[in-house]
Amino acid sequence: MKEQNKIRDQFPILNQKINGYDLVYFDNGATSQKPLSVIESISDYYKNSNSNIHRGVHTLSRKATELFEQARKTVAQHFNVKNDQQVIFTAGTTDSINMVVQGLAKNYLQAGDEIILSTYEHHSNILPWQLWAEENGGKLKVISLLDDQTIDYAAIPALISSKTKLIAITHVSNTLGLITDLEKIKTIAQKNNIPVLVDGAQSAPHMPIDLQKLNVDFFVCSAHKMYGPTGIGLLYLSEKWLKDLATSKPGGGTIKTVSFEKTEYADGALRFEPGTPNISGAIGFAAAIDFVNLVGINAIFDHEHELVQYAQKKMSEIPEVIIYGKSNHKAGVISFNVEGQHPFDVGTLLDKYGIAVRTGHHCTQPLMNCLNVQGTVRISFAIYNTKEEIDIFIEKLVKVIKMLS
């Protein structure tokens, strides 16, 4: 408890009232709050080190470049990436996926090729592929879910053909919190020599990820869901794709030499980071990782798992509550509905009680269709959430149900 208070003290935003009630922030799946160390790292950078990077000969430019490249190292170490250059800073998960799709479309994907996705993908891991498919005569094949909303792994081999060029799959469902068994996906993919892209937007904040061990082709995530700033994220490329992925965003900083006849591009990460990058964002991202490591990613997972177990048990005692994706193998997310009530109403009234939840389709409309619902209410946890907050949430949820019925 004392430890918990120490952690909460790092997040000044949590200490406020909403409509006269103490804020209970349960919308971490959308974005987490930021600890003081992250906020200060960005402010310190602008106060003391701001300069453009990689080209300047002056002291400030060297300082900023060092901080930026140190951030890359911090990210690489955290995810156990062999070579720092495999860490590419992007604007976030969505940007990373778009870069992969557009890059592959240039020299790898062809008309008639097929991409395999799952039913519980976020729209960010559907729309870029769908656009490619529509424009280039490609095809998307979708892995169905079982009755408990987990992935039907047994159905995958039947989806694979000689035209299958990639499996793009989310590590943790943003809507349900269910964890994909990547080993099973990899076994099937490797057997058929198919590259794998893992959308780690919802896994990176909650569980340890070792990219050497994971050994996939692409891994993407966002800093802002793991205590870092918005507008910065990771695109990890395997050594093969660091060389082979075509660049889709040419620009300053990505080159060795330029002439109007021919341009030679830089090696490594710089090839994918055109223009002035989000320097303060990268520094904030590194500070967020330092925070995560200070607390311990395993401690974060255990804490959130305990909160999910506790909340699910309490919620199951309310007869009107329907929980989706009940499997035990899940990260800190619970999606639910109140029987006969619209999620929008439940969310609106919870907000009046100071409880921040997400309602709607969570950018997973195909999953909503599969569940046969318009939307759900989602609560999602972070390291600073407490059982006391869950008790408040349960008490208010019961009140809300009464108000609506």
* Positions that interact with another protein (CB under 8 A): 19, 341-345, 348-349, 352, 359-361, 374-375, 403-404
Phi, psi dihedral angles at 284 (to 5 degrees): -65, -40
Which residues make beta-bridge pairs with 234? 89, 221
- From edge to edge, which strands make up the β-sheet containing 114-118? 87-90, 233-237, 218-222, 196-199, 164-170, 114-118, 139-143
- C-alpha 53/C-alpha 46 separation (Å) is 13
Smallest CA-to-CA distance from 221 within 196, 245, 197, 247 is with 197
Q: How many CB atoms lie within 10 A of CB 243?
A: 11
Q: Which is nearer to another protein, 83 or 348 (CB)?
A: 348
Rounded to a whole number of angstroms, the minimum distance from the CB of residue 67 to another protein is: 36
The smaller minimum CB distance to another protein, of residues 255 and 392, is found at 392
Backbone angles phi, psi at 218, to 5 degrees: -135, 140
Token pair of 17, please? 């009232």
Please give the radius of gyration of the chain, using alpha carbons only, rounded to the nearest integer: 22
- Residue 248 in contact with residue 113, Cβ under 8 Å? no
Selection from 367, 221, 393 nearest residue 315 by Cα = 393
Q: Which helix (H) or strand (E) holds 135?
A: helix 127-136
- Taking the complex as a whole, the smallest distance from the CB of residue 338 to another protein amounts, in Å, to 11
Q: Which is nearer to another protein, 274 or 360 (CB)?
A: 360
CB of 345 to another protein, least distance (A): 5
Specify the residue, 122 or 305, whose C-beta has the smaller distance to another protein: 122
Give the residue ranges of DSSP H helices in 164-317. Answer: 182-191, 211-214, 239-244, 279-295, 297-316
CB of 223 to another protein, least distance (A): 24
Q: What is the DSSP letter of 339?
A: T
Which residue in the list 363, 367, 368, 390 is annotated as catalytic? 363
Considering only CA atoms, which of 207, 204, 146, 176 is closest in space to residue 328?
A: 176
Nearer to another protein, 15 or 348 (CB): 348
Residues 26 and 379 sit within 8 Å (Cβ to Cβ): yes
In the complex, what is the shortest distance from the CB of residue 374 to another protein, in angstroms, rounded to a whole number? 7
Kindly tell me which of 21 and 153 has the beta carbon lying closer to another protein.
21
Q: From the CB of 388, what's the least distance to another protein, in Å?
A: 22
221 catalytic per annotation: no
Residues near 247 by Cβ (< 8 Å), separated by ≥ 6?
A: 103, 254, 265, 271, 272
The vertex-204 CA angle with 336 and 311, nearest 5°, equals: 30
CB of 25 to another protein, least distance (A): 18
Helix (H) or strand (E) holding 190: helix 182-191
Closer by beta carbon to another protein, 266 or else 404 = 404
Residue 359 CA to residue 356 CA, distance in Å, equals 10
List Cβ neighbours of 399 (8 Å cut-off, separation of 6 or more). Answer: 353
Question: Which residues are known to be catalytic?
Answer: 363
